[in-house]
Amino acid sequence: MWALCEKLGVQSGFARGDAAACALAASLAELPLQELRLELRQNEIGAEGAQALAAAIAKLPQLQKLELFLIDNSLGDVGARALAASLAELPLQELQLNLLLNKIGDDGARALAAAVAQLPLRKLELDLRHNSLRDEVKEELRGQLDALPIPEKDIEI
């Protein structure tokens, strides 16, 4: 059955926390997905859960469209860097990454911006508002991301 699955969407409502995110990650690993949408808002996911999800996403070599809504969790810089590393492994053409309210600092945001810059994207939606970024870093990242040759982009920092 899973061999035919090219698109998958998961919404909040399952168990919360890092253990639940790790269980979800284990079920995702190596599926032949081309599109993945995870809506895990306010699920109490921290760095450990983010690292597990990132590792699973990195093992989806056919993934072309990724939508991650991890609003109001606690990924921090460790989780953001893990997500950034996983993005570098993918042939993504479309990325929607909403990390609003995740305690991400300058280092994590810079890692994400650097990873996004390496992707062959046609469409980018990135939301890093209400994290722990200094104003000068927000401006730096906004300039870097605005300069990317991506036809469709919406960036909120």
Q: Which of 71, 12, 77, 79 is nearest to 50 (CA)?
A: 79
The parent domain of residue 58 ranges over 35-149
Write the DSSP symbol of residue 132: B
Q: Measure the CA–CA gap between 83 and 47, rounded to whole angstroms.
A: 10
CATH of the domain at 138: 3.80.10.10
- Token digits for 97? 């990454």
Q: Would 116 be classed as within a structural domain?
A: yes
Q: 89-123, pLDDT tens digit by residue?
A: 899 999 999 999 999 999 999 999 999 999 999 99
| Backbone phi and psi for residue 142, each to the nearest 5 degrees, phi listed first | -60, -45
How many structural domains compose the chain? 1
- Is the model's pLDDT at 2 over the cut of 50? no
Q: Would 77 be classed as within a structural domain?
A: yes
Q: 65-96, pLDDT tens digit by residue?
A: 999 999 999 999 999 999 999 998 899 999 99
Query: Which residues, including other chains, have CB under 8 Å from residue 65's CB and lie 6 or more apart?
Result: 34, 35, 36, 92, 93, 94, 95
Q: Would 138 be classed as within a structural domain?
A: yes
